[in-house]
Amino acid sequence: MATMAVLALTHAAFAGNDPSGEAPFGLAWGPVSAVARPLRADREANLTALYYPRGWRPATGTATAQVVLVVCRDEGLQQVVWVGLPLSGEALARARRAIHDEGVRRYGEPEPGGAADAEFWRGGRALLASRETDGGRRELVTTVFGPGFAACSETHHAEAGHPAGAHVADLIGTAGP
């Protein structure tokens, strides 16, 4: 069972991330004509974050706690955030290794990502990090950025006073993604 969860987690973390156009979960970067109804939506300046809890499409993987789709007013879908279920010990280490190895296979070696345990794949526009939860466990967090994210972030900075990446930094508890 643990092996299946790690495989599902790895797939969810980088599912379909093709820098040329396909976003995770079979979505496409850019204009959004239709998405599944989210549990909730938050808007700030030019960003709309759509939250999908475990079991709601696209957050259906066995190791998935939540998926957040970030839609920019002008650029459309430009960020997908995946949050895994809380893990600890060897289960956490195995899951992290699996995601790391998949990132290396797809994009090469990562760079440090702004937090002690964060890794960033510039070529794949992907970040792997974790955040602490109750009971000493951690949730793995991956985020994949679309090709228009930089422009979206510039607009967000002009309108909200901070770059769009600040929201992921808040999610993982660091100064920057």
Taking each continuous run of H as one helix and of E as one strand, the counts in the chain are 4, 8
How open is the CA angle 67-71-72, to the nearest 5 degrees? 150
> Does a cis peptide bond (omega within 30 degrees of 0) precede residue 58?
yes
126-132/138-145 β-pairing: antiparallel
Residue 14: its pLDDT value, please? 53
Tell me the average pLDDT across 136-161.
Answer: 96
Q: What is the pLDDT of residues 103-146, one digit of tens each?
A: 999 999 999 987 888 999 988 899 999 999 988 899 999 999 99
Q: Kindly report the pTM of this predicted structure.
A: 0.87
Residue 10 has pLDDT above 60, yes or no: no
Minimal CA–CA distance to 104: which of 14, 16, 9?
14
